[in-house]
Chains A and B, each alone.
Chain A
Amino acid sequence: MRNNYLVRALTRANSQTRTSQPARSLCSSASSADVALKNVTRSNFEVVLAELRRHVREADFVSIDLEMTGITSAPWRESFEFDRPDIQYLKVKDSAHKFAVVQFGVCPFRWDPHTTSFVANPHNFYIFPRQEITSDGVSYDFLCQTSSLEFLAKYQFDFNTCINEGISYLSRSQEEEALKRLDLVYKDELPDLSSNLRNGSDMQLVRMADILFAERMKNVVGEWRAGLLRSGNWGAESQGSWNDMNQKFQTTFYQTRPALEVNGLTSRQLKIIKSVTEKHFKDLAYVHVTGETSCRQPLIVYTDSTEDRELLKREVKACQRKTAELSIQAAIGFRHVIDLLSSERKLIVGHNCFLDIAHVYSKFIGPLPSTAEEFASAVRTYFPNIIDTKVLLNSDYTLLRIMKKGSTSLSKAFGLLCLLPVTLTSISTGVADKLRMKVEVQVDEQRFSNWNSGAKHEAGYDAFMTGCVFSHACSHLGIDFNSPAPGVDLLQNEKLQMYINHLYLSWVNGDTLDLKTGKSSSAGSSGSTMAKHWRTKFTFSNMILLWRLPAKLKAKDIRDCFSKAFGSGSVISVHHLDETAALVQFSKPELVSGFLELKDSLERENSPISVLHPLSTILETGRVRAATYEAYNEVCSSPLSEVLFSDQAEKIGVDGKAGLVKPSIDVDEDDDLYPSEAQLSR
């Protein structure tokens, strides 16, 4: 671990020397230091959480970033440009459901009017889904994508710390469910009691050893009870000698009642003691209590009367319930951080963060809803304000120019916006000093104006970079943090309004989801500048899905084949999902049903005509299946993840004919959702 850290620090230092020239010109004070990222594990979680509460309360916004054990559970689950928004959501849902989060970066940013700079408090939480309490229906395991682990390993992610020391968590729904189960266990006392009694007496002693043991216990307990009653004042000296004789039994008190503590016996012996006590001593009760050491301790308690006995049972039950509740409380773990972010209702900033938010929801709130619309409204109740810096960078002309219209990856944006010498940016924008945004970093009450110690792809450092990018982007948008009013209300700022709660559903085709309305919009229709990047060219109702395709059949072969059968120009495009499946887009919606019917009849006849038919290249094996685009949705919504698309479709038993009647309805819906598409297809 030590070594790893060193390596990381070194690589950091190296990369820093490369960028140090521009970086230094940015910082005003000379103090620069390589301070380790604030790593948070089980051991320091409580302390850090207390500090974090204060930081978040004072913060103007909080940036987050997550590291996961994987992104896609099968190659065909990757995001494609021909994915309809509902399918994009299903793919994200699948990913968030199956993979684990191993690191969570949280970085509150606070505007400090005295130094006119932002103060950032980056935190790097190691988390691990250690199941502290078991719960139903939640799967026992999580998935790892081999390539993602390799990626993490490349950036020296410390798996040992994560597994040994990672903070565990419990989602809200898991907690609710656990509490509900407690209710079930501790609710109906009376029937439970009676059955306990009966069970005890039911126990049959067959073996000689058991019978002898039971007899001896009867004597021991009876003697102890007699001793109690004889001496009257529970502290007679005879007690002492009695204890010596039986080291396994000790007289104590349970809530002012005299009790016999039983130690070092096997569970079977305890069962016998229980049965003996209940059978032969009406005024003794055998109970398990939870002491301060929180391990269950068997006791035989003396009770004055039946009422007292019932009272005791209730007390013990209440006590047990209390401890169970406490252990559920303790298991909440990292979710306290999420609850904090949610309850403070701060602006959450992430970079390309739709998947991150989906993970947050599925890990800490509850199972993901089945549609993007429901998801949007559910998220809104917990996190009313989210900003995606990737959307921000791609929507504003000024920012796009700074980004040189190139990639908007986090590290590049950070490099261009936050590290470039001021002179360069000021020339291009014409406003010099105003744009200079200072970010100071605070780690453990120390402040650094130039902080560079976090490693790339370490969630805490990535969260920090995201926040920096956001603050610089804000100043480029002309948001003045130095306004006379103390503290800028970012949430009310009109310049930011149009970006808040817009997230990329999928970066590949630029579709965004508006969390306020729950509507997804394709790239062309919203956001003026984005239109140039993407052109919507898919009419989903004109598409068919083919699977179990012959190996090595290229897209061109498929297109040729269809052109021969339906005329040139009948096929607009062919897209492979993987080597076994493809989507074919026809020029007219009628061709979809036309093809499906033709395929059916060709396969039924198996006459010379069908052999000579141009489609036979594709259908010759008789294995190929076809269906409308809706089947793609069905395949994606299945919880299974076979590596090959065909295997998946077969396993869940997608019916090739399904959706044949649907298209007419779907066309309406699609037109409604994608106005741009209707124009294009005309």
Chain B
Amino acid sequence: MHFRRYLCTQTAAGNRRRHQWPVKKVIKSNFTQALAEIKDSIFNSDFVAISLQKTGGYSAPWQKILPIDTAETAYLKAKRAAERFQIFQFSVCPFSVKASKLIAHPYNFQLFPRDEFRVGMPSYSFSCQPSYLTSMAQEGFDFNACIYNGISYMSRVQESAGKVQRGNVLLNSCSLQSPSAFSVADSIFMERIKTRVKNWMNDCNDLHDKTEDSLINSLRKLVSRSEVYGSRPSLTIDVCSERQVQLTLEALKEFVNIVLLQAPAKAGVEAVQVILTSSEEDKNLLVKEFQDLEEEHGRVVRGFREVIDLISTSQRPVVVHNSLNDFAFIHSKFLAPLPLTMDEFSSSLLSVFPHILDVNHLMKEIGSFDKMNNLSSAISYLDRRFFASIDMEVSNQEETDRGNVHGHNVLRVCQLFVKLCSALKISVEIPEGGHTQLSAFLQRYSNMFCSSDATDPVNDDVRIWTGKSRTVRVNNLVFLWGFKGGISAQDLKDALCNSHEVFSDEFDVKMVDRTCAIVVFWTPGISESFLKIMDSGELLSSKLEDMVSEGLKAADYETYRRVCESGLWKPDLTECLDRAADETDILSGDRAQQEQSIICWNSDEMINLDEL
């Protein structure tokens, strides 16, 4: 939260200096109009930057993505967050760089998972983290606008689940396979339908000539169930099964000028509506009308997902600041439930968004950025180190709520991206017509999902931060818990130091949360012997034995990985580890050992107890 507040003051100060950027705010009422606009903007731009405002990120300190996480556990944590929390604001900014000028079209879409169709979708419930909401409030976010008038949506999978009651379904065009064989009952049914429709059509044609008493007229309508659809006469035929719908279609094949609709089923009663048209053109007109209606209905169902689909079809590279977290959200809310593994996730995602550029990853290319996972500080760092002034032109002419500092993040992502590219000497000016091909250099950087912390090995001495970071294999890590509450990492290290000879070589201790610590053994192999000692209870020194009798427990990284996988997200890591460790005994470790898993050990970067 410290970082958020910092961001907030930065932007407030920054805004006074820079101009007020007009960002278009989109809610339910102006969504259709904005959709048309953004479609043009996306297809006329070279890149699309996105940024999300979420209702939360984690439910307990250890559930944050930490430096001790491998790509896999980081994904599992991101998955957990995406499934629990909600997006309240989705910012999209199509942009291009032309003649060293950044041309941006920013939009802020307010989202709310309103159940528009009473089907329990898109989301029955969601979680909120008070600190996230509070900092959003400080930035001037309007929760009333969001909850009252936010745009709803439905994911691709949810839409195809077909729970949403559709309106009238056009039967003419759809090709229901005709039943292969007809029983006697079927034939009688079909004959009856045929006669009924024939009589009704004749009546309709006759009516043009005769004028009738209104009472008789309405009685006739009542008896024949003849109604009017718009200006055209229509007839409703009740059916009681899907098969009867097919039979009706089959029976009415010979009539040319009718349009058949399947009305939405009400309390189990299905019906086919027959509408009489006057000519072929009239029929086509009506069919078109219904198709438009269906289209419109689909648009309402998809809601904000239209924008996601637009970005996807445009094939523009998507620029994002924290790709793992944000795309986990996007995948789970707009595409499909998140798969179990990182690999499935990336392949599923890349089929929809082929080019994803993570600004965080580009920053690592410059070096020195682990601590800079905050947009404003990264920008000001770049300003200091590289002379790269970027003019920005924001093309929305709409009036916006001025004075609000929220919702500018997406513009900052654009800015940072362009600055980084210029610092890295990557050209982002794409010539006319060359859209689908990313420059080879950018291609290299695309689709690298990195959580902000799980870094790849870099030289120690180029870091601007003082801490030294070293990579460490995960099987050199041991989780420890069951020690006295409120103890500091240093005290724990001291206590361990003299307790047993396995601690005579170099090792480090960090707290993961209040009740659980992680120990890194710098000499390979020691972690295994330590775990063996803890497991068997043999070779315990008296000091270690005391600690064990007071409840000290240890587990390997695999146990932690299983905790993340199991979906047991309790507030204390120890509880989860305890349970998972119990299960290990049963499983007797038949699982194949992890491939080359390394994490980056940074002595400074662990959770500071004082901050908790």
Contacts and interface: CB of A to CB of B under 8 A. Distances in A.
Given A75-B120, A136-B515, A184-B485, A160 B126 contact: no
A672 interface: no
A201 to B, nearest CB: 13
B133 A163 contact: yes
B126 A138 contact: no
Nearest to A129: B130
Interface string A154-176: 00001110111000000000000
A636 to B, nearest CB: 16
Interface in B107-126: 112-115, 120, 123-126
Contact of A163 (B56, B58, B113, B137): B137
B127 A143 contact: yes
Nearest to A131: B130
A131 B131 contact: yes
Contacts of B127: 141-144
Interface string B45-60: 0000000000110111
Contact of B125 (A70, A164, A181): A70
B144 interface: yes
B525 interface: no
A138 B570 CA distance: 10
Interface stretch (B345-353, B374-382, B486-494): B486-494
Given A163-B143, A643-B120, A651-B567, A139 B485 contact: no
Interface in A48-76: 69-70, 73-75
Nearest to A642: B567
Contacts of B471: none
A152 B148 CA distance: 9
Nearest to B494: A195
A128 interface: yes
Contacts, number: 110
A146 interface: yes
A199 interface: yes
B278 to A, nearest CB: 41
Given A73-B125, A159-B144, A181 B486 contact: yes
A191 B84 CA distance: 43
A145 B125 CA distance: 4
A153 B147 contact: yes
A160 B128 contact: no
Nearest to B150: A153
B571 interface: yes
Contacts of A191: 491
Interface string B132-162: 0110110000111011100000000000000
Count chain B CB atoms within 10 A of each CB in A131, A136, A162 and give the residue with the most: A136
A305 interface: no
Given A140-B129, A146-B126, A134 B148 contact: no
Contacts of B147: 149-150, 152-153, 159
Contact of A146 (B58, B114, B494): B114
B130 A128 contact: yes
A185 interface: yes
Contact of A643 (B55, B124, B137): B124
B302 interface: no
B308 to A, nearest CB: 20
B126 A139 contact: no
Contact of B129 (A141, A149, A164, A184): A141
A579 to B, nearest CB: 10
Contacts of A134: 612
Contacts of A139: 59-60, 571
A137 B572 contact: yes
A268 interface: yes
A501 B129 CA distance: 35
A535 B439 CA distance: 75
B125 A4 contact: no
Nearest to A185: B486
B510 interface: no
B130 A143 contact: no
Interface in A63-121: 69-70, 73-75, 100
23 contacts: A74-B124, A136-B571, A136-B572, A138-B571, A140-B56, A140-B58, A140-B571, A141-B84, A141-B85, A141-B128, A141-B130, A143-B126, A144-B128, A145-B124, A146-B115, A146-B123, A146-B124, A150-B115, A159-B144, A163-B134, A163-B137, A164-B137, A181-B485
Interface of B: 55-56, 58-61, 84-86, 112-115, 120, 123-131, 133-134, 136-137, 142-144, 146-148, 466, 485-486, 490-491, 494, 514-515, 567, 571-572, 612
Given A145-B124, A160-B144, A162-B143, 12 more contacts: A4-B144, A130-B130, A136-B571, A142-B127, A144-B126, A144-B128, A146-B126, A147-B115, A152-B147, A163-B136, A207-B466, A641-B125
